[in-house]
Structure 1
Amino acid sequence: MKYNNQLLLFLLIFTFFYGYSQQILTKKEALEIALENNFGIKIANNNLETAKNNASILNGGFLPTATINSGADYRTNNQKIVFTDPQTGSDAERVGNGVITKNYNTSVALNYTIFDGMGRKYNYKQLKETYNLTAIQARQTIENTYLQLFTLYFQIARLSENKLNLEQALAISKSRFKRAKYQYEYGQTNKLEMLNAAVDVNNDSITLIAASQQLSNAKRGLNVVLGVEKPVTYEVETQVDFNEMLVLQDLEEKTMKNNSLLKQNEKNIAISEFNIKINKANYFPRLNFNASYGLNRTENENLVNPFGARLITSNGINAGVSLSWSIFDGGGTKTRVKNAKIALENQEILLEQQKLTIKNSVKNTWNNYKNQLFILKAQETNVATAANNFKRTEDRYNLGQVTSIEFRQAQINFINAKTALNNAKFDAKLIELQLLQLSGDILNVSF
């Protein structure tokens, strides 16, 4: 009874750890983790928050500024005053040492720009466009993360299936070695047959170990994109579904409308246009309003002059407007306007270049996609043929009608065909994702 309980406990523990080691990380879960923890996305979101702060009314120059100034001054001086008596014409002298004077002042000032040639208006609009540009850049970062994430995810799926193929190949080689060993022990074959089978087992084992290492490395690479540390014991989904609704014309239209690079360049053009207007604002006058309330107090002690005031206080409001107009600034404004127009022209040229480049990328990627789908169909046929050939060769090998070399070649052909099919499947899916990224539709992919 005690033995049965121990056995049951062992089976439960083994089942738990086996289930944990075989935990499946789905595509949807991987995407959710990356969106929350990816370092690049976090930085992009922070940059977007900074751009939002910059585009606030608080940074637009539309609000007045208020300043409080306050100060105190203490002086001690030696003074000498010479008086002339108007009646006698004789001089009289007064001397004071350590004469103390105390000054106190405080004021509140308000300044506001009434008109600046519309410069702050265009600057505020430019900041809004900069925010929109940053939002598009953040979107592009997320799109790139999508593509990077699923490139690594499908690479893990590819390596997982390849590893499974290699495990099957190793199992076949071990079975063949076991058969050859029995035949040698019973004198039905020579030792060379057994040694060849042993070499093939070793080679398949080495290949499997290398594939396992590649798989572990790929999972660690995925962890970096996810922004988390996960044990590399998890598995991934290997099923691939293709979007059969893709049409080249629709992709081209969506690309010209939604591609992140093109949208960014359009925003750069808008920013450059506002930059011209901001520089042109320097041609106009500036009208400022200012107002202040001040309080001053002066205390004089030990006066030498008997007619001097011992206490002086003043307070009041001052207000006014000022107009300034730079009629000629040495040509600086004119130069900046010219350079801003050149910068705008460069942005327009760059947009046309990007349109042409991206149009070609869509067509080239589309052709690669269709070719890869054709290759996928062809590889499916190859696998069926190779599987049939291997099965027939295995049957004949068991009957002693073919050599071990012929059997091994059929085995290698079968494994290579399955590997090629596996590669074609995931290559086609990655090209499909590239098409969706170009068209700005990759964020709408559902898994």
Structure 2
Amino acid sequence: MRNKTAFLIVVLGLLGVCTQAQEKTLTKEEAIALALENNYGINVAKNQVEVAGNNKGILNSGYLPTLTGTAGASYSRDDSVIEFPGQFNEDASPREDVELEKAEAQAYSSALTARYTLFDGMGRFYNYKKLKEQYQLSELQARETIENTIVQLFSVYYEIARLTENEYVLGKTLDISKDRYKRAQYAFEYGQSTKLDVLNAQVDITNDSINVLNTRQELSNAKRDLNVLLSQDLNMLYTVDTLVTFIPKIKLEAFVEQAKINNVSVLQTERNLAINSYDIKVQRSGYLPTIGLSGAYGWNLSQSAQSAFFPGTNTDNNSFDLGASLTWNLFDGGGTTVRVKNAKIAYENQELLKKQIEIEVDRDIRNAMANYENKLVIHGIQEQNVITNQNNFERSKEQFQLGRITSIEFRQAQINLLNAQTNKNLAKYDAKLAELQLLQLTGQLLNVEL
């Protein structure tokens, strides 16, 4: 048993030395910067914004004319014999056959055609505005992805911080158990205690060592989770900042008051509402005519081969044409009317959805605020509980060294202090995560220093 205890102590010491030698500190600002730069989900969202930006450009608006160029060429060569059966010359001799060899004909053509829609019932105008709204919607969707990723990032980041502090607390607990084991061993050797005290101390060292090992394993797993979010090498080692500060309540209340104009879900419903309103106008453009202009310039060169009766000819032609057109679909079987009605229904549905989301967001904010305030109170209670248990442990330690309490009573005071410290760590990071969720709901997550 003594050898096993010594082995655990050596293993824990080596693990601690290796970890401290290789790890570097990753600040909150660095974690956010790495996530914004490397996270795959965020980069996909950025690419989607870029696509929407391309779609809303003038090149996709329908306002520019089209210019089409065409060209063609053809070549032919004929070898032919023309016979005149039953025909005679003036001297009564049969008329000779006419042979044409390598009779070549060539033709070349080219043309430029320009077309421009002068008026299309205002369809492209409202479609252009719709594309701009879709771009703004894609920006809000990217922002939502970033906010969700940041919350997920700090959920893992603060879990690492919590486990780091727990590892420290458990390490201190293990040190106390080691010291108690040495005292019990010396006391037993000098006949001042029983073997039971030594065995109890060995059992406690074993349990504390296992707790430290399990916490370190959880810590390693959490760090790999964070590396995934940051798109980093899974073997990257670092420590995190365990300092947590809370935003003043008066500032949070101001954020809550402005939540309806900053919440990303509400803003997305407003953009969707604008898109649906433009859809109605785009469909209505089907009731109006389309007026277009066109122009063309062409050049043709034709070189015909000679025949038995005519010589070859060359024809060079240049042409320039202008035209205008008016197209008015006076009745399309009711298709436009149906599309307009459906667009109006979609708009009404979007209005209802907006009202639903607004009331849900209001509920979520109220719940988040209450949850945050509750977590803060719990954190304050746990801090006071640590102070109480620390005092109790110090007094128990004095009494134990004086032999006035048993090792079991001392161990219970030690466990109570350990539980109080780990519960305080949990309460602190729970409160901070509750604050982050409130900031996300109020639309301020990306606007404050975390």
TM-score by length of 1: 0.88
What percentage of aligned pairs have identical amino acids? 47
How far does residue 184 in structure 1 lie from its aligned partner after superposition?
2.2
1:41 is aligned with what amino acid?
I
How far does residue 336 in structure 1 lie from its aligned partner after superposition?
1.8
Q: In structure 1, what is the equivalent of residue 158 of structure 2?
A: 154
Check whether the contact 2:166–2:425 (CA below 8 A) recurs between aligned residues.
yes
Question: Do the aligned partners of residues 93 and 411 (structure 1) sit closer, same or farther apart at CA in structure 2, a change above 3 Å counting?
Answer: farther
Check whether the contact 2:294–2:322 (CA below 8 A) recurs between aligned residues.
yes
Q: Deviations over 1:244-295 (max 9, x none)?
A: 1346653332210100111111101111111111111111111111101101
Q: What is the RMSD computed on CA atoms of the aligned residues?
A: 2.5
Write the mapping of 1:1-40 to structure 2, written as runs, cut at 5 A: 21=22, 23-40=24-41
CA–CA distance in 1 between the matches of 2:61 and 2:51?
Answer: 14
- 1:130 corresponds, among 123, 131, 134, to 134
Check whether the contact 2:228–2:234 (CA below 8 A) recurs between aligned residues.
no
CA–CA distance in 1 between the matches of 2:402 and 2:295?
Answer: 109
- Pick which of 127-136 and 243-252 moved more: 243-252
1:374 is aligned with what amino acid?
V
How far does residue 343 in structure 1 lie from its aligned partner after superposition?
1.6
Q: Which 4+ runs in 1 deviate beyond 3 A? A: 16-22, 75-82, 92-101, 230-233, 245-249
Q: In structure 2, what is the equivalent of residue 236 of structure 1?
A: 240
Q: Deviations over 1:144-185 (max 9, x none)?
A: 222222222211111111111100111111111112222222
Residue 324 of structure 1 pairs with residue 322 of structure 2? no
Residue 428 of structure 1 pairs with residue 448 of structure 2? no
Q: In structure 1, what is the equivalent of residue 53 of structure 2?
A: 52
Structure 1 alignment gaps of length 5 or more: 1-15, 86-91
Question: Do the aligned partners of residues 254 and 81 (structure 1) sit closer, same or farther apart at CA in structure 2, a change above 3 Å counting?
Answer: farther
Residue 412 of structure 1 pairs with residue 407 of structure 2? no
2:337 is aligned with what amino acid?
K
Q: In structure 1, what is the equivalent of residue 288 of structure 2?
A: 284
How far does residue 97 in structure 1 lie from its aligned partner after superposition?
6.8
CA–CA distance in 2 between the matches of 1:376 and 1:182?
Answer: 41
Check whether the contact 1:303–1:310 (CA below 8 A) recurs between aligned residues.
no
Q: In structure 2, what is the equivalent of residue 339 of structure 1?
A: 342
Check whether the contact 1:279–1:333 (CA below 8 A) recurs between aligned residues.
yes
CA–CA distance in 2 between the matches of 1:51 and 1:183?
Answer: 77
How far does residue 233 in structure 1 lie from its aligned partner after superposition?
3.7
How far does residue 187 in structure 1 lie from its aligned partner after superposition?
2.5
Give 3-state SS (helix, strand or coil) of 1:140's partner: helix
Give 3-state SS (helix, strand or coil) of 1:442's partner: coil
Q: In structure 1, what is the equivalent of residue 44 of structure 2?
A: 43
Q: In structure 1, what is the equivalent of residue 373 of structure 2?
A: 370
Q: In structure 1, what is the equivalent of residue 313 of structure 2?
A: 310
Write the mapping of 1:254-293 to structure 2, written as runs, cut at 5 A: 254-293=258-297
2:59 is aligned with what amino acid?
L
Q: Deviations over 1:383-419 (max 9, x none)?
A: 1111111111111111222121111111111100111
Question: Do the aligned partners of residues 303 and 273 (structure 1) sit closer, same or farther apart at CA in structure 2, a change above 3 Å counting?
Answer: same
Q: In structure 2, what is the equivalent of residue 350 of structure 1?
A: 353
Residue 143 of structure 1 pairs with residue 150 of structure 2? no
Question: Do the aligned partners of residues 446 and 20 (structure 1) sit closer, same or farther apart at CA in structure 2, a change above 3 Å counting?
Answer: farther
1:235 is aligned with what amino acid?
T
Check whether the contact 1:96–1:303 (CA below 8 A) recurs between aligned residues.
no
1:443 is aligned with what amino acid?
L
Write the mapping of 1:30-109 to structure 2, written as runs, cut at 5 A: 30-76=31-77, 100-109=104-113
Question: Do the aligned partners of residues 380 and 118 (structure 1) sit closer, same or farther apart at CA in structure 2, a change above 3 Å counting?
Answer: same
2:132 is aligned with what amino acid?
K
Question: Do the aligned partners of residues 41 and 24 (structure 1) sit closer, same or farther apart at CA in structure 2, a change above 3 Å counting?
Answer: same
